[in-house]
């Protein structure tokens, strides 16, 4: 029964994430402001420049740097750079929380790698005859244990900050609190299951193997059962929350902050802008009438209220 629950939760997680990704990718073009510096501006990013500053820029080739773009997004993902600059106090808890989640994602990857390796006859243990088996065994522990600890400390700190600081309470929703409480419960249960009954993650490896083989497994310890139930609930819950910002960040950076392609007559951007202008207005004011298009609002006239 627990295996079926895990199968369903993984299906919902993948399906929901794919749906969110497609939905975001189909959103109208953003308001085109020039937001500098842009990392891919080769030779200009360090001072916030742009190829637009060149005279007759449209006649010259554009030189970009993919490596600089990768470096910048890596700083954001691995260092939570924006939060560090703008809200250092919150960063002190958000950083270990995110690093913990990254490590736990690696834990899941190594559990599945262990299961696949077992299918190939590779023994995963501290005394495995194959160095590959020993490497997976120890790496699983190295990423798993700090992942539980850092994630738990970070999540608890974030919850305390939201509860104790009036500025954070003002902008926190019930779902924000529920998400953090759920994560704290999940991380605490995982840490307890590891400490009490699964120091080498052998039980989780066996369970992962049973998932890949679609085979039944014996009765699991209560601590591991609780851990897996909370994992399944979290997988099911995640696609329907703002925690899917890990998907949105790609679009935020590449299609908003770093989008500096010119709007050329007859080009794709012109078409996207025209499509956005045909969208209907969902609010009303003196200068805008509900139900009319943005194009009508831009040219004025019939949309004006009396």
pLDDT band, very low/low/confident/very high, at 273 (cuts 50, 70, 90):
confident
Of the two residues 264 and 13, the one the predictor is more confident about is 13
Contact by Cβ (8 Å): 98, 154: yes
Q: Collapsing DSSP states into helix, strand and coil, what is residue 30? A: coil
Query: In the predicted model, what is the mean pLDDT of the chain?
Result: 90
Helices 202-213 and 222-237: crossing angle in degrees, nearest 10, is 60
C-beta of residue 295 within 8 angstroms of C-beta of residue 85: no
What are the tens digits of pLDDT across the range 59-74? 888 888 899 989 999 9
- Going by the DSSP 8-state scheme, the letter that residue 278 receives in this structure is T
Q: Is the pTM of this model over 0.75?
A: yes
**CATH 1.20.950 in the chain, residue ranges:** 80-257
Contacts of 20 by beta carbon, 8 Å cutoff, 6+ apart: 239, 244, 247
Could you read off the pLDDT of 16-30 as tens digits, one per residue?
999 999 999 888 888
Q: Which contacts qualify for 254-262: CB closer than 8 Å, 24 or more apart?
A: 255/30, 256/30, 256/35, 257/35, 257/38, 258/35, 258/38, 258/39, 258/40, 258/69, 259/30, 259/32, 260/34, 260/38, 260/41, 260/50, 260/51, 260/52, 262/52, 262/58
Q: pLDDT, tens digit, for every residue of 190-218? A: 999 999 999 999 999 999 999 998 888 88
- pLDDT value at position 305? 46
What pLDDT score does 237 carry? 96
The Cα–Cα gap between 200 and 189 comes to 16
pLDDT in tens, 120-150: 888 898 998 989 999 999 999 999 999 999 9
How many CB atoms are located within 10 Å of the residue 274 CB?
11
Q: Helix (H, G, I), strand (E, B), or coil: what is residue 48?
A: coil
Coil/strand/helix, residue 258: coil
* Phi, psi torsion values for 293, nearest 5 degrees: -85, 160
157-170 tens-digit pLDDT: 999 999 998 888 88
**CATH topology (fold) of 80-257:** Fumarate Reductase Cytochrome B subunit (1.20.950)
């Amino acid at each position: 029964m627990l295996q079926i629950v895990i199968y369903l939760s993984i299906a919902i997680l993948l399906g929901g994430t794919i749906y969110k990704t497609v939905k975001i990718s189909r959103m109208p073009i953003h308001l085109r402001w020039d937001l500098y510096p842009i990392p891919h501006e080769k030779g200009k990013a360090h001072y916030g420049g742009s190829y637009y500053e060149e005279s007759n820029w449209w006649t010259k080739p554009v030189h970009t740097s993919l490596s600089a773009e990768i470096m910048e997004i890596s700083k954001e993902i691995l260092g939570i750079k924006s939060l560090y600059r703008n809200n250092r106090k919150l960063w002190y808890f958000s950083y270990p929380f995110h690093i913990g989640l990254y490590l736990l994602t690696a834990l899941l990857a190594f559990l599945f790698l262990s299961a696949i390796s077992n299918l190939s006859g590779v023994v995963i243990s501290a005394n495995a005859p194959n160095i590959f088996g020993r490497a997976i065994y120890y790496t699983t522990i190295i990423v798993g244990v700090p992942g539980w600890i850092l994630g738990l400390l970070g999540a608890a700190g974030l919850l305390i900050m939201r509860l104790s600081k009036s500025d954070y309470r003002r902008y926190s929703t019930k779902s924000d609190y529920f998400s953090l409480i759920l994560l704290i419960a999940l991380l605490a249960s995982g840490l307890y299951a590891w400490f009490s009954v699964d120091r080498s993650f052998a039980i989780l490896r066996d369970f992962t193997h049973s998932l890949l083989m679609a085979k039944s497994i014996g009765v699991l310890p209560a601590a591991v059962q609780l851990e897996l139930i909370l994992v399944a609930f979290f997988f099911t819950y995640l696609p329907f929350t703002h925690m899917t910002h890990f998907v949105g960040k790609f679009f935020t950076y590449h299609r908003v902050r770093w989008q500096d392609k010119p709007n050329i007559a007859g080009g794709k951007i012109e078409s996207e802008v025209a499509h956005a202008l045909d969208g209907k207005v969902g609010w009303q004011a003196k200068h805008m009438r509900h139900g009319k298009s943005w194009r009508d609002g831009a040219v004025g006239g019939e949309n004006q209220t009396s």
